[in-house]
């Protein structure tokens, strides 16, 4: 039997992968996408596709025995996380390394299924510093606007923001930030704010107002399966294979041969097979893409891959923290899971931070203000291949998170001082006011201009491309998916003009 063949193969279905699939499909190139997670379109016994953060079940986590929410305690009690029974192919994964837990989405749409939908564009000056090889003019004139339009980015109606009980938590945090002399900013999102207003009026089923987000939104969110991927499949040239993991990559002729492992939702391996392709695009995310290339280099299937693969990883300076409010400053029992305001201290010369005001949607008054801060952290981690586990190990020491904590602390110390409040220590295990040992924004591992050329072509390997967050060197200053999308648009436009023949 001849090995099955597809002209183009894309690993993963996150942002970079989805952009690439649509543009290849439009160009008439037959393309197969391989996704290890599920297609999330089938309701469970409760009639819902996804479970909520308030009542998580096996759909919540990717083969974990217990949920691993970023807040692990409440009033120091172990009441947040739940046992899940038999491991299942759920939608959120947390990959644990020493000193760093990396959250990622699993399923058709990757991170878009589980993320908060925040869709800011980085400040141009910082973008130019992070990715100097990229023509910023083309990005800001063409590719960022294109990405925002394709992703369905919208902004909350300011009148609604000022009056709804669902954003009282955001207004309280904004007031405190202003009292301390900080600027705040409205952050665009891909969650439909029209839908959200209807949720409040109860004319549609609730999602953002029903505690749904990190384990998926049943309504309202324009995740990639509803935007880029729907369009890609609509070209008639793109197919998506789910519950299938790419394990190995080797060269064959002028293309590649990838090893596949198909599983059921309980994780049982049903079949191992191979698929040949001419063009191979890696969109498995920072951790997934880096691991595939490291494995190929270190097991000798692609021994000449560049030494730079595995380097330049960062968690976008993510730090989570919470403040305890005065009794006269309640944040409200109804909290939209979709953040819409941020404290913008990005121009601080010593401690730049962009802190999104996050919800604590537990359905009762908590008097807590929660934040996910994005900070500048010059530290970088690196991955090495572990032969005994066949995985990539991330090397990140606890000390490397210190610059992030310092920047967040500079901001929130000032707010606490101005308002006369303190930190909450009951939300993160170990009595800590800051949690910098996990991240939502893994970036890097296959850096643009180092492991690849300036368009994502893997150095020394024709027809092999990287198209996701692993291209970005560890830091962006804002939430990353708009940038990952815009960069993928730019790169694939060039590759279609030069490398790919329909
Ligand atoms: P992404 O991680 O999206 O997709 C990779 C896909 O490849 C996954 O579906 C994975 O299952 C699959 N895969 C991996 N290895 C594979 C293999 N070997 N074989 C087959 N498939 C494989 N960002 C933002 O801008 N605004 C926000 O509000 C948030 N909020 C947020 C909250 C939470 C809880 C998380 C976890 C993340 C965010 N993010 C975010 C981050 C954002 O979601 C993230 O940066 C992007 O999804 C990264 O896009 P990529 O294209 O790099 O890969």
Domain boundaries, the chain: 5-498
Residue owning the nearest CA to atom 26 of ligand 1: 118
- CB of 246 closer than 6 A to ligand 1? yes
pTM above 0.95, yes or no: yes
Note the pLDDT of residue 412. 98
Q: pLDDT, tens digit, for every residue of 186-207? A: 999 999 999 999 999 999 999 9
Note the pLDDT of residue 150. 98
Q: Name residue, tokens 């394709």.
A: 150
Pick the CATH number of 5-498 from 3.50.50.60, 3.30.1280.10, 3.40.30.10, 3.10.530.10: 3.50.50.60
1 Cα–ligand 1 center, Å: 36
Question: Which ligand 1 atom minimizes the distance to the CA of 12?
Answer: 7
Both tokens assigned to 216: 């998926």
Distance CA 276, CA 463 (A): 13
Residue owning the nearest CA to atom 14 of ligand 1: 284
- CB of 12 closer than 6 A to ligand 1? yes
Distance CA 222, CA 230 (A): 11
Dihedral sign computed on CA atoms, order 327, 329, 334, 340 = negative
- CB of 323 closer than 6 A to ligand 1? no
Distance CA 111, CA 35 (A): 12
- CB of 100 closer than 6 A to ligand 1? no
289 Cα–ligand 1 center, Å: 11
DSSP E strand boundaries for 347-490: 353-358, 368-375, 382-386, 391-395, 422-423, 434-435, 438-439, 443-445, 464-466
Distance CA 174, CA 419 (A): 12
- CB of 93 closer than 6 A to ligand 1? no
Cα→Cα distances 338→82, 123, 210, 351, Å: 23, 22, 11, 26
pLDDT along the chain (502 residues), means of 10: 92 98 98 98 97 94 92 79 92 97 98 98 97 98 98 98 98 98 98 98 98 97 98 98 98 96 98 98 98 98 98 97 97 97 95 96 93 97 98 98 97 98 92 94 98 98 98 97 98 97 64
Note the pLDDT of residue 1. 59
Strand partners, 118: 189
Dihedral sign computed on CA atoms, order 351, 130, 189, 142 = positive
Which of 317, 303, 256, 313 is CA-nearest to residue 450?
A: 313
367 Cα–ligand 1 center, Å: 31
């Amino acid at each position: 039997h001849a090995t099955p063949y597809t002209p183009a193969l894309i690993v993963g279905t996150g942002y970079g992968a989805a952009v690439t699939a649509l543009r290849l499909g439009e160009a008439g190139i037959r393309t197969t996408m391989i996704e290890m997670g599920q297609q999330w379109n089938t309701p469970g016994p409760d009639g819902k596709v996804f479970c909520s953060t308030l009542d998580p079940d096996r759909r919540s986590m990717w083969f974990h025995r217990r949920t691993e929410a970023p807040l692990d305690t409440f009033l120091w009690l172990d009441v947040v996380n739940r046992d899940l029974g038999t491991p299942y192919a759920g939608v959120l994964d947390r990959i644990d390394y020493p000193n760093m837990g990396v959250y990622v989405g699993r399923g058709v749409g990757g991170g878009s299924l589980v993320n908060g939908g925040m869709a800011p564009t980085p400040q141009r000056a910082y973008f130019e510093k992070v990715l100097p090889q990229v023509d910023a003019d083309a990005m800001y004139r063409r590719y960022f606007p294109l990405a925002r339009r394709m992703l369905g980015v919208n902004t909350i109606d300011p009148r609604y923001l000022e009056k709804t009980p669902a954003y009282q938590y955001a207004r309280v945090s904004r007031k405190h930030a202003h009292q301390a002399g900080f600027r705040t900013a409205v952050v665009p999102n891909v969650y439909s704010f029209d839908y959200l207003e209807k949720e409040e009026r109860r004319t549609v089923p609730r999602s953002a107002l029903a505690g749904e987000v990190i384990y998926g939104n049943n309504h309202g969110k324009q995740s990639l399966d509803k935007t880029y991927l729907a369009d890609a499949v609509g070209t008639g040239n793109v197919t998506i294979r789910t519950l299938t993991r790419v394990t190995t990559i080797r060269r064959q002729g002028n293309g590649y041969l990838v090893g596949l492992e198909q599983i059921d939702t309980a994780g049982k391996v049903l079949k191992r097979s191979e698929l040949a392709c001419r063009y191979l695009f890696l969109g498995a995310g920072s951790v997934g893409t880096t691991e595939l290339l490291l494995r190929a280099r270190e097991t000798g299937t692609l021994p000449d891959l560049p030494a730079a693969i595995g380097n330049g990883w960062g968690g976008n300076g993510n730090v989570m923290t919470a403040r305890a409010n005065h009794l006269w400053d309640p944040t409200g029992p109804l909290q939209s899971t979709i953040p819409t305001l941020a404290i913008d201290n990005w121009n601080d010369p010593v401690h730049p931070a962009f802190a999104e005001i996050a919800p604590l949607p537990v359905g009762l008054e908590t008097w807590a203000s929660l934040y996910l801060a994005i900070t500048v952290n010059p530290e970088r981690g690196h991955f090495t291949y572990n032969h005994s586990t066949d995985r990539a190990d991330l090397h990140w020491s606890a000390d490397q998170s210190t610059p992030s904590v310092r920047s967040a602390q500079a901001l929130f110390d000032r707010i606490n001082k101005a308002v006369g409040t303190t930190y909450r220590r009951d939300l993160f295990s170990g009595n800590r006011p800051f949690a910098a040992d996990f991240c939502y924004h893994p970036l890097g591992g296959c850096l643009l201009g180092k492991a690849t050329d300036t368009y994502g072509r893997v150095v020394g390997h024709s027809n092999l491309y990287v198209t996701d967050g692993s291209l970005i060197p560890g830091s962006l200053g804002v939430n990353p998916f708009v940038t990952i999308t815009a960069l993928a648009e730019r790169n694939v436009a060039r590759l279609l003009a030069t490398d790919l023949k329909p």
